[in-house]
Amino acid sequence: MWCQSCREEYEEEDAGTCKECYEEASETEEELKREIEDLKAKIAFLRLSSPLDLHSHSSSATDLLLHASSASSSCSPAPAVPAHRAILISRSPVFKAMLENEMEESRSGVIKIYDVSYDVLRSFVHYLYTAEVLLDEQVACDLLVLAEKYQVKHLKAFCEKFMTSKVNNENAIASYAFAHRHNAKQLLEAALSLIMDNMAALTEREEYKELVEKDPRLVVEIYESYLTRQVNTAVKDLRLQP
């Protein structure tokens, strides 16, 4: 028969496409499904509360000022990052609890987040409004920590996906430790897989030696996973033997 996609001849008689075209189409379909899910998540994240919900907060819907540490290029105080209560309340359950109760931040209209830089805080607030941000590896790390702190799940997932795509031999150990601290399962699995694939080389790196000293528990977990993989591989090989 002839494939309807590539027009090449193939042996199967019960389909309209060859195996290669079918697999390619399946991969494209899965990719489109993932893109659709990402878009749905983005739309859900950006959807504001209903007008009635916003109206109930109208008495406190004044501007806020968020303060970070000093700007990276200067020791002088960083400028404040302006935001609106309604946006922060709708994006983060932590901000919601903070701003809807009689806390200092709610009364003063000032939120101090001194454990991040001004640039990261500005990117964080920008994301709360637009669900868009330009990432590099350091910014992704910083924003993931901030997103976890304020329970902005969509941003945390976005940063984790970016960091997972950047895992390599140079940063696998650091990525594994970071993922462990911040409950980033996808990043954890990617880093662990790469570590186990390159155990001999990575265990000679300085980062590994530091991990042994600072958090031996993680080293034990790495070796447990590595040994489990070795056992499973050996069992599989035995089953395949005639």
Q: What pLDDT, on a 0 to 100 scale, did the predictor assign at position 61?
A: 45
Element at 84 (helix H, strand E): strand 81-84
**Claim to verify: residue 117 and residue 209 sit in the same structural domain:** no
How far apart CA 107 and CA 100 sit, in angstroms, is 10
> What is the distance of C-alpha 105 from the center of its chain?
28
**Claim to verify: residue 125 and residue 135 sit in the same structural domain:** yes
- Encoded amino acid at 173, one letter: I
Q: What pLDDT, on a 0 to 100 scale, did the predictor assign at position 168?
A: 95
Q: What is the torsion angle, in degrees rounded to the nearest 10, for the CA atoms of residue 103, residue 104, residue 107 and residue 113?
A: -110
What is the three-class DSSP state of 166? coil
**Claim to verify: residue 63 and residue 146 sit in the same structural domain:** yes
Q: What pLDDT, on a 0 to 100 scale, did the predictor assign at position 56?
A: 43
Q: What pLDDT, on a 0 to 100 scale, did the predictor assign at position 172?
A: 94
**Claim to verify: residue 41 and residue 70 sit in the same structural domain:** no
Distances in whole angstroms, Cα of residue 205 to Cα of each of 79, 173, 195: 40, 9, 11
Rg (CA), the chain: 24
Q: What pLDDT, on a 0 to 100 scale, did the predictor assign at position 157?
A: 96
**Claim to verify: residue 123 and residue 189 sit in the same structural domain:** no
CATH number, domain with residue 86: 3.30.710.10
Q: What is the pTM of this model?
A: 0.73
Phi, psi of 132 (to 5 degrees): -135, 145
**Claim to verify: residue 61 and residue 136 sit in the same structural domain:** yes
End-to-end CA distance of the chain: 36
* Domain end position, chosen among 121, 153, 185: 153
Domain range holding 104?
Answer: 48-153
How far apart CA 194 and CA 4 sit, in angstroms, is 40
Q: What pLDDT, on a 0 to 100 scale, did the predictor assign at position 119?
A: 92
Tell me if 151 sits within 8 A of 89, measured CB to CB: no
Which tokens belong to 201? 């080389």
If we measure between CA atoms, which residue out of 130, 144, 134 comes closest to residue 48?
130
Sequential pLDDT tens for the chain (242 residues): 666 666 666 565 555 666 676 667 777 888 888 888 888 787 777 665 433 344 444 434 447 899 997 544 455 677 888 888 888 999 999 999 999 988 899 889 899 998 899 999 999 999 998 888 889 999 999 999 999 999 999 999 999 999 999 999 999 999 999 999 999 999 999 999 999 999 889 888 899 899 999 999 999 999 999 898 888 877 776 777 76
**Claim to verify: residue 55 and residue 129 sit in the same structural domain:** yes
Q: How many domains does the chain have?
A: 3
